[in-house]
Amino acid sequence: MKALVSVKRAVDYNVRIQVKPDGSGVVTDGVKHSMNPFDEIAMEEAVRLKEKGVISEIIAVTIGGQKNEETLRTALAFGATRAIHVKEDGEIQPLTAARALAAVFKKESADILLCGKQAIDDDANQTGQMTAALLDIAQATFASKVDIADGKATVIREVDAGLETLEIDLPAVITADLRLNEPRYLKLPDIMKAKRVQIEATNLGDLGVEAAPAIKVTKTAPPPARSKGVMVKTVDELAAMLKQKGLV
């Protein structure tokens, strides 16, 4: 069974986000980037499925500029067997990403696409679902447990009311939520080995993908600042304030 795992390079979750003063976007130059944490979870899940013998091949795929190669190296260090770089220097929105992923999925005759439920930069939470729609296959979003057997996946999903279980036929798209697993720490020998793997390059044109109509961002602003708080010296003061505000 062949798994495709889509991995996105995003500003690291520990970076304090700075909005550019002219409102044209967020400062990303010279800022630490890493693999989107939810994609790391998807990658870990693929590796665990491979270790269990459910999956035989893991293809990591990313869409973006040259720097995204680092993200593919990380995926290879996790245990991806191959890496595909869809090279595109412009901005990629979810529908275009989904078209590219669907094209790779078909070309590779993959059985499953694993990806994070959302990327922590645009917070769109769309690409997995869109890819499933374009391929006309099943989806299980926000997965916290995945079992695969007999051409089917049983997936426990994190929904508002609790944990929902779906049974889906493969091929399918599964998007990872936080609880699915805890990604392993990468070992130095694996990181070194990953550097030697040949990354397969392609682009939207080669995949026969047309960029989708895009949403235009006209302004980026920081969120409204919180008003300055007060420091209290004693528990009594704190208790009194909480009571006065009607909070307890």
Partner 1 sequence: MSKILIVADHANGKLNSGVAKVMAVAQAIGGDVDIVVFSDDSKAVAEQAAKINGTAKALTVDNAANANLMGAVLAPQVVALVKGGYTHVLFCGNALGKDTAPRVAALLGVPQVSDIMAVHSATSFDRPTYAGNAITTVECPEGTIVATVRLASFDAVAEDGSASVEAASVSATLPSHTRYQGLQAQKSDRPDLQSAGKVVSGGRALGSSDNFKIIFDFADKIGAGVGASRAAVDSGYVPNDMQVGQTGKIIAPDLYIACGISGAIQHLAGIKDAKVIVAINKDADAPIFEVADIGLVGDLFTLLPELQSKL
Q: Of 71-90, which residues contact partner 1 (CB under 8 A)?
A: none
Q: Give the binding range for partner 1 (CB under 8 A) out of 50-58, 91-99, 105-113, 185-193.
A: 91-99
Site string for partner 1, 23-62 (x = CB under 8 A): --xx----------xx------------------------
Task: By CB under 8 A, tell whether 244 contacts partner 1.
Answer: no
Q: Give the binding range for partner 1 (CB under 8 A) out of 78-86, 153-161, 183-191, 192-200.
A: 153-161
**In the complex with partner 1, which residue's Cβ is closer, 57 or 158?**
158
Total residues contacting partner 1 by CB under 8 A comes to 85
Q: Give the binding range for partner 1 (CB under 8 A) out of 19-27, 56-64, 80-88, 192-200.
A: 19-27
Q: Give the binding range for partner 1 (CB under 8 A) out of 46-54, 55-63, 127-135, 200-208.
A: 127-135
Three-state DSSP at 96 gives helix
Contacts with partner 1 in 182-221 (CB under 8 A)?
182, 212-221
**CB-CB neighbours of 160 under 10 Å:** 5
Three-state DSSP at 63 gives strand
Q: Give the binding range for partner 1 (CB under 8 A) out of 50-58, 84-92, 196-204, 240-248.
A: 240-248
Locate all alpha helices (DSSP H) within 61-156, ordered by sequence.
69-78, 94-107, 127-135
Half-sphere exposure of 153 (CA within 13 A, CB side): 28
Task: By CB under 8 A, tell whether 231 contacts partner 1.
Answer: yes
Taking the complex as a whole, the smallest distance from the CB of residue 195 to partner 1 amounts, in Å, to 27
Q: DSSP string spanning 136-151?
A: T-EEEEEEEEEEEETT
What one-character DSSP code corresponds to residue 29? T
Task: By CB under 8 A, tell whether 141 contacts partner 1.
Answer: yes
Q: How far is CA 225 from CA 18, 82, 221, 228, in A?
A: 13, 45, 11, 9
- Measured distance CA(39)–CA(4) in Å, rounded: 12
Of 51, 52, 107, 167, the one binding partner 1 (CB under 8 A) is 167
Of 35, 42, 43, 172, the one binding partner 1 (CB under 8 A) is 172
Of 14, 66, 109, 198, the one binding partner 1 (CB under 8 A) is 14
Of 39, 142, 143, 207, the one binding partner 1 (CB under 8 A) is 142
Burial of 142 (C-beta count, 10 Å sphere; 0-12/13-18/19+) = buried
Of 150, 161, 188, 195, the one binding partner 1 (CB under 8 A) is 161
Closest to 114 measured CA to CA, from 95, 96, 101: 101
Longest dimension (CA), the chain: 68
Read off φ and ψ for residue 135, nearest 5 degrees.
Answer: -85, -5
